[in-house]
Amino acid sequence: MQYATITGWGKCVPPAILSNDDLATFMETSDEWIKPRTGISRRHISHVNTSEMATVAAKHALAAAGIDGSELDMIILATASPDTLIPNIASTVQANIGANCAAFDINAACSGFLYGMGLATAQIKSGQCQKILVVGAERLSFYIDWSRRETAVLFGDGAGAVVLEASDVAGGVLGYELNNDPEGREILKASFGTSMDRYVAESLDFYIQFDGKEIFKRAIHGMSTLSAKVLDKCGIEKDDVDWVIPHQANERIIDTLVHKMKIPPEKAFVNIAEYGNTSAATIPIAICDALAKGMIQPGQHILSCAFGAGLTSAALLLQWGERTTPLKTSDATLPPCDQTGLQLIQKAVNYFCHRD
């Protein structure tokens, strides 16, 4: 039997930072209002397209795995904010890393990375593929109406990636659960797509909309239910979980989740303060940060869970392999940016806040 094991990992966050204090310069808010409610101190704003961030993260993941892009059998790229809908941006990343394989995008919003991990695991366990690149990448700043405090304070840009490889050694991805709650479709959305009237200028005023209270309730239910199911399916007790790496949407949601599951809060990895909610990129970025801090050790059990627009939800349990350091490193980086985060969003702020 083949097992799907993470052998490489990489992230990419743009250099320009937008702090809570920056947001306070054009809307009624403050660090004292944002931080206690969300856990967020700042977020990164991209000066490049989603595919460029995804490419950098992919190159770091490939280097960490010690393989070349030409060795990949498949690329799965999770995003709700691609450069283009046609063609998919997995093909852009594929060209940038010299791969010759199947490549496609998936949109399960913030659950997208775990959906991709589930699909990749199935491909490896079936024997169809040996090496798969899974990427989560978002440029959510594209969707923000900067006059709406409830969403403007939450989201950021970034990308993360992992390489999954077939292994004869038991471990890797032990199990996963994927689900969707269609009754919640309307409580988290952005009206961008073919339903737009392309001949009416107002249709271009698309932005992220959500019902925070309803999302909070459904997110906790979805993630805790699927996490319990995957632990039961794998025969692992919650006490045997070493780390919980959840989707980084809101620190209050994470705190409530681990409390409901009766998992010690110190087992939850939280890095939302630095990045905000980067949707499909939050979990792979968190994996990279946890490894960089030396927190993940060989053989540890890691539970990851997420929720997103749809309302999607996902949970995955993996047992980390023997290696926690990269085999090689990459010098891949984004092109320089000579603007601050506030400067990068200024045109959008002027538009949505009706400034001259």
| Residue positions annotated with a catalytic role | 110, 247, 277
Closest alpha carbon to 15 in 280, 326, 335: 335
CA 32 to chain centre: 26
CB contact at 8 A, 71 and 8: no
What is 1-20 written as a DSSP string? --EEEEEEEEEE--S-EEEH
Distance of CA 62 to the CA centre of its chain: 18
Question: Can you tell me the distance from the alpha carbon of 216 to that of 163, in angstroms, rounded to the nearest whole number?
Answer: 31
Alpha carbon 215 to chain centroid distance? 17
Chain-centroid distance, C-alpha 187: 20
Helix (H, G, I), strand (E, B) or coil at 206: coil
Rounded to 5°, the CA angle 295-267-14 comes to 55
